Amino acid sequence: MTASKIFPDAIKLGLKELDGNRSDAIAAAALLLSPAITITRAEASPEGWGLSLGDVTDVLRSGSPSLREDASDVLGQWVVQIDGGPAQVWQTAIGPLLAKV
């Protein structure tokens, strides 16, 4: 069971209020984006994570600029690491996620 499933409201609030150092923001961005990517690619359900795509997009919109910057850095790293190659990952996960933000 994930922490986001057990404490979704506390995690969303913490991510929105995050204004710490860069390593904290990168880790937070990765934690936020993991559910979004797996949900968008139909590899997991929102119920499994405790966070919906709406929750993720809300946090990205209302969170700090550093969270958004670090989220883009994380996505830039993941686009070449996720199975399927960059083009497929963009079409099936990153592009649809960014369209919601």
Scored b (16 or more CB within 10 A) or e, 23-62 reads: eebbebbbbbbbbbbbbbbeeeebeebbbbbebbbbbbee
The residue extents of the domains of the chain are 3-100
φ, ψ (nearest 5 deg) of residue 40: -60, -35
Handedness of CA 23, 48, 91, 85 (dihedral sign): positive
Q: Is the pLDDT of residue 11 over 90?
A: no
Q: Is the pLDDT of residue 22 over 80?
A: no
Tell me what the mean pLDDT of segment 41-60 comes to.
88
Per-residue pLDDT reduced to its tens digit, 57-87: 988 888 888 888 899 999 999 999 998 899 9
pLDDT at residue 71, as a whole number: 92
- Helix extents (H) in the chain: 3-6, 8-17, 22-40, 46-49, 53-62, 65-78, 85-89, 95-100
Confidence of residue 10 (pLDDT cuts 50, 70, 90): low
Q: Which residue has the higher pLDDT, 79 or 17?
A: 79
Q: Is the pLDDT of residue 92 over 70?
A: yes
